[in-house]
């Protein structure tokens, strides 16, 4: 922890040695811990890593996309270096722009992660929106998410060729479901990293409005936009709850409106202000994780708080059942741990 702050040439606060735990959403860490515990996950990760060559992926990026640099997309190159400076990310990841009509951004790679933006994303976002997006992807790299994101994409490609085998289909489905659940939570973490890079909650909100379908953010009423998230989270009909579950199950990204509201809440929190003031966990203080008990506890607390404030009947049911189960589990754990 430090109470001193460093300021970059752009006037933004820098975060020397910042640990990803300073901005990670607790549900992200817990979901990742759960993912690692899925039967067969470690073996699948090892196998998938061996089946594909990262060098090949980088070569494909070199051959089919524009590598950002001082003479190619220089404005993006400047944002790339500024975001890396703020998050103290070294070496600075390579950034590519690929022709694609879909708005996408991703961090890929296992040993040398790189960032890919689509032309649709570059054309849609203003400068501060692009700073938010690039900072978001650097958050993925700093958190080590690129490894699992790459695995998710590779498994999706394999699923089509292996799904004819019943055992393979079921095994892949379980791991893919766990990966998708984790990645939705990881996106919430990296939105925070994007905000730390720009340090402008309004710019982050404009980016989310654009992702949600706002052709012109100035014509969108902010209060009404965020009210949509409140309405979505406060449904009181079990049928709506089941629809929400059905649509979200296979999604790798959280819903844009809900995601925007989540980030704005963090931007208004004491946690965000503390990081800006230089009070954050540093990488040098991170201890190697031998288990994920603390991460699971943090995630459980996060889910408990969201359940407590939700009017969703299905969420409340899960909360009651989960409370009973966790209470019983706690008694068993105390008995064996001697607490």
* 152-173 per-position pLDDT tens digit: 666 666 655 555 444 445 555 6
pLDDT at residue 319, rounded to an integer = 42
Give the residue among 71, 77, 72 at the shortest CA–CA distance from 131: 77
Burial (CB count within 10 angstroms: exposed 0-12, middle 13-18, buried 19+), residue 106: middle
Q: How far is CA 98 from CA 77, 95, 117, 190, 223, in A?
A: 15, 10, 6, 22, 35
The percent of residues above 90 in pLDDT, for the chain, comes to 40
Q: How far apart are CA 311 and CA 177, in angstroms?
A: 25
Q: Is pLDDT above 90 for 264?
A: yes
Q: Which letter does DSSP use for residue 8 in this model?
A: -
Q: What's the whole-number average pLDDT of the chain?
A: 76
- The DSSP bridge partners found for residue 151 are none
pLDDT tens per residue across span 174-232: 666 666 677 778 888 999 999 999 999 999 999 999 999 888 998 999 999 999 988 87
pLDDT tens per residue across span 33-54: 666 666 666 566 656 555 555 6
pLDDT at residue 170, rounded to an integer = 52
Q: How far apart are CA 137 and CA 57, in angstroms?
A: 17
N-term to C-term CA, the chain: 30
Q: Is pLDDT above 90 for 135?
A: yes
Q: What is the mean pLDDT of residues 123-139?
A: 97
Q: How far apart are CA 108 and CA 117, in angstroms?
A: 11
DSSP annotation string for 89-127: -SSPPPEEEE--SS--EEEE-SSS-EEEEEHHHHHHS-H
Q: Is pLDDT above 60 for 18?
A: yes
Q: When comparing pLDDT for 320 and 201, which is higher?
A: 201
Evaluate whether 73 touches 88 at the Cβ level (below 8 Å). no
Q: What is the mean pLDDT of residues 245-273?
A: 81
pTM of the predicted model over 0.85: no
pLDDT band for 15, please (50, 70, 90 cuts).
very high
Q: How many CB atoms lie within 10 A of CB 262?
A: 20
pLDDT at residue 336, rounded to an integer = 35
pLDDT tens per residue across span 285-312: 876 554 445 554 554 454 445 544 444 4
pLDDT band for 108, please (50, 70, 90 cuts).
confident
Q: Is pLDDT above 50 for 328?
A: no
The percent of residues above 70 in pLDDT, for the chain, comes to 59
pLDDT at residue 285, rounded to an integer = 84
Classify each residue of 302-315 as buried b or exposed e, where b means 16 or more C-beta atoms within 10 Å of its C-beta.
bbeeebeebebbbb
């Amino acid at each position: 922890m430090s109470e001193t702050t460093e300021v970059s040439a752009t006037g933004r606060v820098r975060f020397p040695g910042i640990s990803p735990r300073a901005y990670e959403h607790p549900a992200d860490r817990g979901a990742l811990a759960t993912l690692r515990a899925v039967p067969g996950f470690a073996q699948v990760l090892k196998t998938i890593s061996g089946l594909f060559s990262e060098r090949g992926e980088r070569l494909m990026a070199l051959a089919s996309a524009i590598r950002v640099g001082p003479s190619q997309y220089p404005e993006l190159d400047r944002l790339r270096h500024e975001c890396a400076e703020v998050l103290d990310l070294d070496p600075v990841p390579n950034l590519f722009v690929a022709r694609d009509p879909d708005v996408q951004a991703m961090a890929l790679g296992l040993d040398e992660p790189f960032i890919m933006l689509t032309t649709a994303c570059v054309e849609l976002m203003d400068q501060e929106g692009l700073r938010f997006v690039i900072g978001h992807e650097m958050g993925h790299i700093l958190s080590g998410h690129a490894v699992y994101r790459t695995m998710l994409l590779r498994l999706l490609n394999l699923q089509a060729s292996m799904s004819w085998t019943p055992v393979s289909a079921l095994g892949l489905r379980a791991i893919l479901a766990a990966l998708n659940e984790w990645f939705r939570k990881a996106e919430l973490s990296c939105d925070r990293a994007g905000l730390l890079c720009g340090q402008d909650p309004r710019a982050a909100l404009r980016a989310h409005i654009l992702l949600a379908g706002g052709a012109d953010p100035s014509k969108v009423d902010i209060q009404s936009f965020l009210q949509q998230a409140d309405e979505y989270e406060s449904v009181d009909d079990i049928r709506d709850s089941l629809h929400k579950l059905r649509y979200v199950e296979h999604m790798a990204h959280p819903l844009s409106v809900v995601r925007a509201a989540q980030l704005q809440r963090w931007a208004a929190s004491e946690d965000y202000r503390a990081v800006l003031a230089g009070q954050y966990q540093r990488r040098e203080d991170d201890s190697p994780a031998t288990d994920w008990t603390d991460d699971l506890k943090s995630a459980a607390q996060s889910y408990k708080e969201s359940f407590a404030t939700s009017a969703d009947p299905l969420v409340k049911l899960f909360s009651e059942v989960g409370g009973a189960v966790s209470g019983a589990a706690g008694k068993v754990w105390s008995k064996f741990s001697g607490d």
